[in-house]
Amino acid sequence: MYRDGEVVAEGFPAEEIAARLASADDGFVWLDLHEPDEADLGIVVREFGLHPLAVEDALQQDQRPKLDRYRTHLFANMYAVAFDDESAELTSSEVSAFITPRALITVRKAAFDVDALMARWDATPELASAGIGFLVHGLLDAVVDGQYDATERLDNSLDALEDRLFEPRRDPGVDIRRRAFELRRAALQLRRVVAPMREVIERILRNAGEHHLAHDFLTPYYEDVHDHVLRAAETTENARDRIASILESEQNIQGQQLNEVTKKLAAWAAIIAVPTAVTGYYGQNVPYPGFEHHAGWIVSTTVIIVLSGALWLLLRRRGWL
């Protein structure tokens, strides 16, 4: 519980929230629920009069990021994300929030770094006088910053893939297309959680006055969050075009390499075809060394195998096979 810009109480049961708020007109609270059931939310519903539809959304998983407006409160759903550069895997944590004039109630359905969120609030005590808007801004800022960091990491991974694509002698074992498809999957997942957040932030700004979220000195901070989500959404949109360009470039490079290999093999075939045609036309056929001995056949066969194997290794090393 916050009062006069400072934490005055914590760790008390949800049943005491109404009494504590009644005893402190300028106080506001944050209540965090981790994977609650209907009974746990039932207490909060009675205390704050939460809408049944909002409660139903909070209990369900994989809801779309959104902001719903009800008579007594707002309901927001969002995703905190993290992107792994090596595996190109995107992990997400769904967070729902009930926003009332004097309380922020968060419902977590998966792992979410609450300590980092609290540290963010503690780092800006000068904003605590803004009331519940201070808590809402901290939550949105933490989620959007995580999404922005994920988009930056994705963008850096695409930069590295583009550099690898145009290396003069790149490792033939590197699968550019596989990596591109992995990044495209992550980009699509990231776009699903980032793009709707723009509307969430804009609707919160529009409803800020009604739900005591608007303060003159807090508005620039909300606008900064809005700017970050716009940049994150733009990066995810650009990522789709960049990946398509990478795949197209890879296909063109593969085609050019195939043409070069075909030209070289055709040249060698033409060189070999001349003596083959001449000797074939005149029916020239001379005995090989050791023709009359069994050992000669073994030596001849060995030479054929060795030369064929050497040619296979050469073509394999150059990436033609």
Q: Give the integer Cα–Cα distance in Å for 68 and 205.
A: 13
Q: Give the integer Cα–Cα distance in Å for 64 and 293.
A: 82
Candidates 24, 216, 17, 34; CA nearest to 103 is 17
| Domains of the chain, CATH where assigned | 2-253 (3.30.460.20), 286-321 (no CATH)
Residue bearing tokens 């003596």 = 275
Weakest mean pLDDT among 17-21, 93-97, 272-276: 272-276
pLDDT at 173: 46
Measured CA distances, 41 to 89, 106, 139 (Å): 32, 11, 20
CA dihedral 69, 74, 77, 82 (to 10 degrees): 130
The answer, yes or no, to whether residue 7 has pLDDT greater than 50, is yes
Tokens read off for 59: 């209990």
Candidates 161, 158, 164, 160; CA nearest to 240 is 158
Query: pLDDT-based confidence at 288, cuts 50/70/90?
Result: low
Q: What is the pLDDT of residues 106-150, one digit of tens each?
A: 998 777 888 888 888 888 878 887 888 889 999 999 999 999 999
End-to-end CA distance of the chain: 69
